[in-house]
Amino acid sequence: MPTLGPNRWGKSGVRVSKVHRGDGVDDFSDVTVQVLLEGDVDRAHSEGDNSSVLPTDTMRNTIYALAQDNLTRDLESFGAVLCSHFLESVDVSKASVSIRERRWERRSEAGFTGGGSEQRVAEVLRGSDEQTVAGVEGLVVLKTRGSAFTGFPKDRYTTLPERDDRLLATSITAKWVYSSMPEDTTITWNRARDTILERFFGDWSASVQHQGYQMAEAVLEVVPEISEISLHLPNQHHLGFDLTRFDHPDRGIIFHPVTEPYGDIAFTVRR
Amino acid sequence: MPTLGPNRWGKSGVRVSKVHRGDGVDDFSDVTVQVLLEGDVDRAHSEGDNSSVLPTDTMRNTIYALAQDNLTRDLESFGAVLCSHFLESVDVSKASVSIRERRWERRSEAGFTGGGSEQRVAEVLRGSDEQTVAGVEGLVVLKTRGSAFTGFPKDRYTTLPERDDRLLATSITAKWVYSSMPEDTTITWNRARDTILERFFGDWSASVQHQGYQMAEAVLEVVPEISEISLHLPNQHHLGFDLTRFDHPDRGIIFHPVTEPYGDIAFTVRR
Amino acid sequence: MPTLGPNRWGKSGVRVSKVHRGDGVDDFSDVTVQVLLEGDVDRAHSEGDNSSVLPTDTMRNTIYALAQDNLTRDLESFGAVLCSHFLESVDVSKASVSIRERRWERRSEAGFTGGGSEQRVAEVLRGSDEQTVAGVEGLVVLKTRGSAFTGFPKDRYTTLPERDDRLLATSITAKWVYSSMPEDTTITWNRARDTILERFFGDWSASVQHQGYQMAEAVLEVVPEISEISLHLPNQHHLGFDLTRFDHPDRGIIFHPVTEPYGDIAFTVRR
Amino acid sequence: MPTLGPNRWGKSGVRVSKVHRGDGVDDFSDVTVQVLLEGDVDRAHSEGDNSSVLPTDTMRNTIYALAQDNLTRDLESFGAVLCSHFLESVDVSKASVSIRERRWERRSEAGFTGGGSEQRVAEVLRGSDEQTVAGVEGLVVLKTRGSAFTGFPKDRYTTLPERDDRLLATSITAKWVYSSMPEDTTITWNRARDTILERFFGDWSASVQHQGYQMAEAVLEVVPEISEISLHLPNQHHLGFDLTRFDHPDRGIIFHPVTEPYGDIAFTVRR
């Protein structure tokens, strides 16, 4: 008769984002949490007796629920709160929690840049056709205010609520065509990139399309050598996580960021 | 005044899985869909007027809703159905749909192996400690029947329903320790791997833990040179997608596969 | 004064491929190796004394050198050979070797398909433009014979030798346009895909372009509903690893597969 | 008889790094280049006639060779130089070059941080065992001076030359155990992380091990609540690219960064 050796069960890859609403200035957290439990679960393995197997789906719900009051920059404390909760509520001998926090750099009262996938791009075509394109890829931005989406058409498959103020995140790809070469391509590149960021953080927008159009318009205004600019703005959704199911007040600050699917918006604006 | 050039909006990365229930034999589809629309949306971009901007979230819902009756092996027809739907229901000039289908190979009436990330593994340690470990990583399996999860503890954060029969998918990592070396490590490796697959597809299970334990027990029985075996069985969830919201009958065959989070189950079984 | 705790050093991610030349029938291995050593290396850490630190580059060279005579399907034995070598040649207390073998499935005497990234693709466009495209992505193939590359132009930057017979590997993306819809798109898809594979494994080719053209030509011949086919054939290089530097005979069977850079070949063939 | 439609061939994923040596202050470029050519290559496809097919390997060599004199921040100019070269030296009608530049942020005269994969980590274990671990993952650093590797043992498989001054790059994972909790975990985390960076950029080192040990020692000195610290320091090699083969002077400033294999160094230092 075989025996059960070391074992654990839990939930990995629980992505949680949180807006820390302030007086005019918001802060933002973006973490990935793993919870693992260990206990006397021999009969679960050998007999299929689940009476001591807390579902990993419950662990996930718990992480979101407790994040509203407990997730701060002090990751160690949030980890300890989660451990205590599971040690008290289920019959296990050990709880372990890992938290990874992605870094976002503040750019404005409610705006951030994130990640480091950003790349400067140049695309040069010569020969029977000639064109010089410059741009940026992977410029990840997020704002906790100043973005709405309302007034859209509804049909039987529409479940999206209208939102006057939503969290907006995207990974900007912008490519522009030079009709004549600027004197210093690096200075010009920085000017275009800075303009894009300024408008993303500064402008109120009615949609991703509207947001992007304002950015494109501003770049054309600021850099006379650019004849047209194309933007690709995947809408990286942060879904609200409904806490009222658990009889918690829901302050609208806890989100579930998803990688797929994403809103896929792209367009070109010409001088 | 700048002008809007080429443009489109849509939803990318919509993952849909579907069980084609048969008489004792099920088939299984696993696709990723992209929908892109083009139309006269200048005012959406320049003015923030969303009256013609079908939300990409609605596109996503529509893909799931129409998949129930229309997703078959004939991807081109499902694409055409989606295009027709959007051309009729919104004022756009073009609809384009891309579908990518992942391949799953039939192994039993309701069992499949998928993907090709599978690798044979050997880990050899020599010197002051000595051990030889063999195994497999990335052995992706799925079954549409024969897996339950009931009788688990509930608390205020539990929303998971009990299921007598659910879809079960995982990417098996199995590593076993040899107490003595088998005569032919490749024959033995194949025997262990085949046993794991047979039990996954053949045994009814009450949980991932219970499923894995039966697999481990069988390997220990079949290969006398193995002293212990460790399994890592991430539960790759296929979430039911509620179609009743759209006044469609919900036949329980349409799922949303998610990469994160995943149930994280690991344990060792010793002779 | 701090003390050194557990430590190890080594080389990870050493990719080795090997052709097992047979009498008309070749076999093929594709492994990724990690070597880690442990020993009394306190002074290396605290003093910068490297007299006992075997360079990880030497470990890498050793893996390629010993693979020629020792890498077979019996990964455990190759691991043990590597461990013995390092335990004898350097003053360490422990050597550990991990080997992961990617699976390739035999398709002909010298042809294989690999990995499982293959996806069937459909792209349907409707509205002001109409087109139906079908295809395959990620169809990974490799052959150990029947591919040459000679007679190319040379300049001061050319170092590539001419090869009458080389190993050829690629990940096929093929997309074809239907001028009229076939009766059964799945049967037709399989016919096109099978034709591509048959010609890849069956035809001698003078270059990737020549190889692909023959595949495209054959698909147009076999499926009358296809008006044009586009191929993307990244040349996934397996670089010879020169063993003569180590005073080993070099039998031309040991390769270093690289992911980047890759030869980037794409073209369309029309009826 | 089918006809050849649009087509191109070239090299993708050519990674080039370059040290711009200054008077005490170095700058650093890290780009990925793609070259694609188009021309009258029908016979190459249909007949296997390679007389006009410049090998993609030659394109790769050319990129490295021309980078020495021409790669600056002005990516567009480097792209134009490459296009001109290919249009002059081969009979093609079009040349297109794409360049992507990864961003590195200056931290010292010869030190940079790169990418944005950095994550703060907390691992909290409670129950029958208790431990609190904090740390950082994916802290990518590079220095163009101040790192040596000499005095190592040689055997028949050693080809690595001794280097008094080499480029050193790694992605730091550091995890430390708290014996007592600091008052403010975020301030303490920043102090530990800043100390790691200061020592990486400030200390001369004889090896990765020696570099890391100095970092670990300093963290233990600066943060009394830490009882031990573990480092994982993959050596991300930038290989010199020999330009003398092309009769170019080789100024030792052009490198080929590789992802695999990597030197795999890990150890723990205890108070």
pTM: 0.94
Q: Is there a contact between C209 and D152 if contact means CB atoms under 8 Å apart?
A: no
Query: Which H or E run includes A83?
Result: helix A75-89
In this prediction, residues C44-68 reach a mean pLDDT of 96
Q: What is the pLDDT of residue B117?
A: 87
**Is residue D116 scored above 90 in pLDDT?**
no
Q: Which residues pair with D134 in a beta bridge?
A: D122, D176
ipTM metric: 0.92
**pLDDT band for position B116 (50/70/90)?**
confident
Q: Is there a catalytic annotation at residue C56? A: yes
In this prediction, residues C211-226 reach a mean pLDDT of 98
SS3 of residue B106 by DSSP: strand
Number of CB pairs < 8 Å for B and C? 157
Are the beta carbons of B219 and B176 closer than 8 angstroms?
yes
In this prediction, residues D113-139 reach a mean pLDDT of 93
Give CA–CA dist D54/B225, Å, rounded. Answer: 56
Residues of C in contact with B93 (CB under 8 A): 127-128
E strands, chain B, in order = 3-20, 27-38, 94-102, 104-106, 111-114, 119-127, 131-143, 168-178, 226-235, 238-240, 254-257, 262-270
**pLDDT band for position D24 (50/70/90)?**
confident
Give CA–CA dist D173/A261, Å, rounded. Answer: 31
Give CA–CA dist B118/C116, Å, rounded. Answer: 8
**Is residue A115 scored above 80 in pLDDT?**
no
**pLDDT band for position D117 (50/70/90)?**
confident
Are the beta carbons of D234 and D265 closer than 8 angstroms?
yes
Chain position carrying tokens 């051990």: B131
Write out the two tokens for D219. 């963290």
Q: What is the pLDDT of residue B1?
A: 79
Are the beta carbons of C135 and C196 closer than 8 angstroms?
no
Express as a percent the part of chain A with pLDDT over 70.
Answer: 100
B–D contact (≥3 CB pairs within 8 Å)?
A: no
**Is residue D141 scored above 90 in pLDDT?**
yes
Closest-CA residue to C111 (of C71, C72, C164, C169): C169
**In Å, how far are A43, C45, C87, D174, D262 from C7, measured between CA atoms?**
38, 10, 16, 14, 17
Nearest by CB to residue A126, choosing from D95, D98, D121, is D95
**Is residue A150 scored above 90 in pLDDT?**
yes
Q: What is the pLDDT of residue C116?
A: 72
Q: Which of the following is catalytic: C32, C56, C132, C185?
A: C56
In this prediction, residues C99-108 reach a mean pLDDT of 95
Express as a percent the part of chain C with pLDDT over 90.
Answer: 97
Residue A156's Cβ-count burial label (10 Å; 0-12, 13-18, 19+) is: middle
* Tens-place pLDDT, residues C114-153: 977 899 999 999 999 999 999 999 999 999 999 999 999 9
Closest-CA residue to D133 (of C62, B6, C127, A100): A100
Residues 141-200 of B with CB under 8 A from C: 178, 181, 184-186
DSSP secondary structure letters along D76-123 = HHHHHHHHHHHHHHS--SEEEEEEEEE-EEE-SSSEEEE-S--EEEEE
Are the beta carbons of C255 and C239 closer than 8 angstroms?
yes
Q: What is the pLDDT of residue C264?
A: 96
Q: To the nearest whole number, what is the mean pLDDT of chain C? A: 96
**Is residue D115 scored above 80 in pLDDT?**
no
Q: What is the pLDDT of residue D87?
A: 96
Q: What is the pLDDT of residue D20?
A: 96
Are the beta carbons of C212 and C267 closer than 8 angstroms?
yes
**pLDDT band for position A117 (50/70/90)?**
confident
CB atoms within 10 A of CB D2: 18
* Tens-place pLDDT, residues B36-67: 999 989 999 999 999 999 999 999 999 999 99
* Tens-place pLDDT, residues D157-213: 999 999 999 999 999 999 999 999 999 999 999 999 999 999 999 999 999 999 999
What's the gap in Å between the CA of A113 and the closest CA on chain D?
10
In this prediction, residues A244-264 reach a mean pLDDT of 95
What's the gap in Å between the CA of B140 and the closest CA on chain C?
10
Count the helices and strands in chain D (H runs, E runs). Answer: 5, 12
Give CA–CA dist D82/D94, Å, rounded. Answer: 12
In this prediction, residues B108-130 reach a mean pLDDT of 93
Q: Is there a contact between A83 and D126 if contact means CB atoms under 8 Å apart?
A: yes
Residues of A in contact with B8 (CB under 8 A): 264-267
Q: What is the pLDDT of residue A1?
A: 79
Residues 6+ apart with CB under 8 A from A224: none
Q: Which of the following is catalytic: A18, A143, A175, A237?
A: A237
**Is residue A228 scored above 80 in pLDDT?**
yes
Residue A21's Cβ-count burial label (10 Å; 0-12, 13-18, 19+) is: middle
**Is residue B240 scored above 80 in pLDDT?**
yes
Phi, psi (rounded to 5 degrees) for C256: -115, 105
Residue from D36, D41, D50 to probe the interface with C (highest C Cβ count within 10 Å): D50
Q: What is the pLDDT of residue D249?
A: 95
* Tens-place pLDDT, residues C177-194: 999 999 999 999 999 999
Residues across chain D? 271
In this prediction, residues C228-249 reach a mean pLDDT of 96
Q: Is there a contact between C54 and D152 if contact means CB atoms under 8 Å apart?
A: yes
Q: Which residues pair with A98 in a beta bridge?
A: A34, D123
In this prediction, residues C239-248 reach a mean pLDDT of 95
Chain position carrying tokens 């599978």: B118
Q: What is the pLDDT of residue B230?
A: 97
Are the beta carbons of C261 and D60 closer than 8 angstroms?
yes
Are the beta carbons of C131 and C112 closer than 8 angstroms?
no
Write out the two tokens for A253. 């600050």
Q: What is the pLDDT of residue A24?
A: 86
Give CA–CA dist C7/C25, Å, rounded. Answer: 45
**Is residue B111 scored above 90 in pLDDT?**
yes
Are the beta carbons of D248 and D262 closer than 8 angstroms?
no
**Is residue B190 scored above 80 in pLDDT?**
yes
